[in-house]
Amino acid sequence: MPNLRFNGSLWCNLDVALRNVDQIFRRAVRPLNITVIEWYILRALYEQDGQHASELARAVGRAATSFTPNLDKLEDPKTGLIERRPDPSDRRAVRIYLTEKAHGQRDTVQHIAEEIDRQVASMFSEFDYEKFLDILSALQSALPE
């Protein structure tokens, strides 16, 4: 029987596990002077630059209504990793683009992601890790976006 806390409560144990993994990510991205959510934003933009803020918020699992401060920090001249540009097809909307500085950090961001994946995967057998990824995928698609 697994060693779970709180009488095996799924939610409580997922939350504890997420907080533990979050600490791994926080330590890994600290040298970039960004937060984990900002790191997710960069990764989402590396996959598809020029997204609407609402699409980007959804991609990283955040509410669009509370997403602006994250973008503000990444756009701040001290950070300088994104820029907002008007959407040419909808004057009410803006699109988020990576700056040259952000493009220059792409390899570092990708390396950090790969290293964390390796670190977590090393905790499991290959079979168990693949099973874990299947379960994770099912949990992600369990709720509507």
Residue 2 included in any domain: no
Please report where in the chains the tokens 């697994």 appear, as a residue.
2
The pLDDT mean for the chain works out to 91
Mean pLDDT per 10-residue segment, the chain (145 residues): 82 90 90 90 96 92 89 94 94 93 94 91 95 90 68
The burial class, CB within 10 Å (0-12 / 13-18 / 19+), for 41 is: buried
> Which segments of the chain are extended strands (E)?
51-52, 82-87, 90-98
Q: Are residues 56 and 78 in the same domain?
A: yes
pLDDT score at 131: 96
Q: Are residues 141 and 129 in the same domain?
A: yes
The model carries a pTM of 0.83
Q: Are residues 99 and 50 in the same domain?
A: yes
Q: Are residues 74 and 123 in the same domain?
A: no
Task: Spell out the residues 6+ positions from residue 120 whose beta carbon is closer than 8 angstroms to its own.
Answer: 21, 24
Residue at which a domain ends, from 88, 104, 120 = 104
User: Considering its fold, how many domains does the chain have in total?
Assistant: 2
Q: Are residues 61 and 116 in the same domain?
A: no
Q: Are residues 115 and 130 in the same domain?
A: yes
Q: Are residues 111 and 122 in the same domain?
A: yes
Residue 14 included in any domain: no
Q: Are residues 47 and 74 in the same domain?
A: yes
Residue 20 included in any domain: no
pLDDT score at 97: 98
Containing domain of residue 132, as a range? 107-145
pLDDT (tens digit, 9 = 90+) per residue, 53-89?
A: 999 999 988 888 888 999 999 999 999 999 999 999 9
